[in-house]
């Protein structure tokens, strides 16, 4: 089943304790699309400026990602984000953010995108996420991501969004900010009671927690020793998870758990290099091999 994603498309600059990269391919929708493309056909919607290197679009197309929904604004500049990781490689600080063309982005989904059954609203303003949702005709599964910025600046829109989505993916600090509760198990259920049928709390190097009415569980991260750049891990997690659900055309509890595991495994590859550099080198077989190791690791 095809999967539609709308989110940021960026040129990122990343500073880690040992290395720096400037203006590399990034953005929530980019990591998501590439991660999901191992499982299903992906339709990407976003916006870039005239400075967007054509080779990035070529890379996405070569992976089978549909870029018909990627708007190019003449005379505009692409969204830019600059972040710095602390020595623990888990916490980061945003050094600079330039919304550029994202500021005025008015998403208009191509006709083929509107009838999609699987929709992911990647990190971006909640107002924008709602506009996209309005254009989709009866999707079966809608999952959204959000972040502290929108929790602070668009709380009313977020409440509306929660009532219209099936799943929400957010990280641990965002769940605490949203609920005012430090205990993540309580926070996860409180977020679920705000509307989504299931909630996933990402915990970086500690894996991810799942909450539905009948289930609460945690899956650990795959313990890769080669963490080079954690940027995009959360978006790759969501891409792997949604890609697998779309591939299966199913989101029952068992499939959701398998999907969480695939999300964790794609993210474990993403962090092994900057930008999409590690993902570009792997195939579905590599993911399946890591899945075998992961299952072995979890059986006792
Ligand atoms: P992650 O590490 O999974 O949280 O995702 C990092 C990606 O999110 C980077 O590639 C950034 O370009 C993108 N990003 C950072 N801030 C924002 C924002 N305010 N809105 C949308 N995307 C963002």
* Residue nearest (by alpha carbon) to ligand 1 atom 22: 8
d(CA 19, CA 170): 27
Among protein residues, the one with the nearest Cα to ligand 1's atom 16 is: 81
Residue having the nearest C-alpha atom to atom 14 of ligand 1: 27
pLDDT at 109: 97
Mutate to test the pocket of ligand 1, among 81, 149, 153, 237 (most ligand atoms within 8 A of CB): 81
pLDDT for 90 equals 86
pTM for the structure as a whole: 0.97
Tokens of 146: 């959000």
Residues whose CB falls within 8 Å of the CB of residue 111, separated by 6 or more in sequence, listed in order:
none
Three-state SS sequence of 141-154: EEEEECCHHHHHHC
Q: What is the predicted pLDDT for the residue at 187?
A: 98
Degrees (nearest 5) of the Cα angle 155, 83, 228?
120
Q: Which atom of ligand 1 is nearest to the CA of 171?
A: 4
Q: How confident is the model at residue 153, as a pLDDT?
A: 96
pLDDT tens, N- to C-terminus, the chain (300 residues): 999 999 999 999 999 999 999 999 999 999 999 999 999 999 999 999 999 999 999 999 999 999 999 999 999 999 999 999 999 998 899 999 999 999 999 999 999 999 999 999 999 899 999 999 999 999 999 999 999 999 999 999 999 999 999 999 999 999 999 999 999 999 999 999 999 999 999 998 899 999 999 999 999 999 999 999 999 999 999 999 999 999 999 999 999 999 999 999 999 999 999 999 999 999 999 999 999 999 999 998
Distances in whole angstroms, Cα of residue 99 to Cα of each of 80, 124, 196, 223, 249: 7, 10, 28, 34, 35
Question: Best of 12, 92, 123 to mutate for ligand 1, by most ligand atoms within 8 A of CB?
Answer: 123
Task: Give the model's pLDDT for residue 222.
Answer: 97
Ligand 1 atom nearest 149 alpha carbon: 19
Question: Which among 33, 13, 189 is positioned nearest to 96, based on CA atoms?
Answer: 13
Residue of 27, 151, 204 with the most ligand 1 atoms within 8 Å of its CB, for mutation: 27
Ligand 1 geometric centre to CA of 63 (Å): 21
């Amino acid at each position: 089943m095809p999967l539609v994603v709308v989110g940021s498309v960026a040129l990122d600059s990343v500073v880690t304790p040992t290395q720096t990269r400037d203006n590399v391919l990034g953005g929530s929708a980019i990591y998501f699309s590439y991660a999901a493309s191992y499982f299903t056909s992906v339709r990407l919607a976003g916006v870039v400026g005239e400075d967007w290197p054509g080779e990035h679009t070529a890379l996405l197309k070569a992976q089978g990602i549909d870029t018909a929904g990627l708007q190019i604004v003449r005379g505009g500049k692409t969204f830019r984000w600059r972040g710095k990781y602390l020595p623990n490689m888990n916490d980061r600080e945003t050094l600079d953010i330039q919304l550029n063309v994202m500021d005025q982005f008015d998403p208009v989904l191509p006709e083929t995108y509107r009838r999609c059954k699987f929709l992911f609203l990647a990190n971006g303003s909640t107002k924008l996420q709602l506009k996209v949702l309005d254009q989709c005709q009866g999707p079966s599964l809608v999952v959204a991501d959000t972040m502290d910025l929108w929790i602070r600046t668009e709380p009313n829109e977020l409440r509306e969004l929660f009532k219209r989505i099936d799943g929400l993916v957010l990280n641990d600090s965002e769940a605490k900010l949203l609920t005012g509760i430090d205990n993540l198990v309580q926070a996860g259920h409180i977020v679920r009671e705000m509307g989504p049928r299931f909630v996933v709390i990402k915990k970086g190097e500690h894996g991810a927690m799942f909450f539905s009415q009948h289930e609460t569980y945690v899956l650990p991260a795959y313990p890769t020793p080669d963490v080079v750049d954690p940027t995009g891990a959360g978006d790759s997690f969501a891409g792997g998870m949604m890609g697998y659900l779309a591939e299966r055309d199913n989101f029952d509890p068992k499939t959701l758990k398998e999907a969480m595991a695939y999300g964790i495994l794609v993210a474990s590859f993403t962090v092994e290099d900057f930008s999409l550099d590690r993902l570009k080198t792997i195939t579905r077989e590599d993911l399946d091999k890591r899945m075998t190791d992961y299952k072995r690791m979890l059986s006792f």
